[in-house]
Amino acid sequence: MTARIRANPKYQELRRKRNTFGWTLTLAMMVVYYGYIALIAWNKPFLSQPIGAGVTTLGVPIGMGVIIFTVLITGFYVRRANSEYDALTRAILEEEVK
């Protein structure tokens, strides 16, 4: 049965779509995360600029933005997986498990 599922064109489509989307989100996350780390490493004066008259610096909201971005792309992946990928998985199983 495993061989039949792997040979199914819908399974190949599912793998291709899921891998492409996963790697795209991985690349986006790495750019955001390592971009922030690069700012910490090479441009501390930029991140240490105070915001307004308080003690909060520009690095704090940017760091929070990295965390929020992580939550958003995770939610985006889960939403797509629950709709598109689960539908493809159901279609594959309906065809192959008879």
Q: What's residue 83's pLDDT? A: 92
Q: What's residue 1's pLDDT? A: 79
Q: Which domain holds residue 42?
A: 2-96
Closest CA to 60 of 69, 51, 73: 51
Q: What's residue 3's pLDDT? A: 86
* Cα-only R_g, the chain: 21
Q: What's residue 96's pLDDT? A: 82
| DSSP secondary structure string for all residues of 24-66 | HHHHHHHHHHHHHHHHHHH-HHHHTPBPTTSS-BTHHHHHHHH
Q: What's residue 4's pLDDT? A: 85
Per-residue pLDDT of the chain (98 residues; tens, 9 = 90+): 788 888 888 999 999 999 999 999 999 999 999 999 999 999 999 999 999 888 999 999 999 999 999 999 999 999 999 999 999 999 888 888 77
Q: How many domains does the chain have?
A: 1
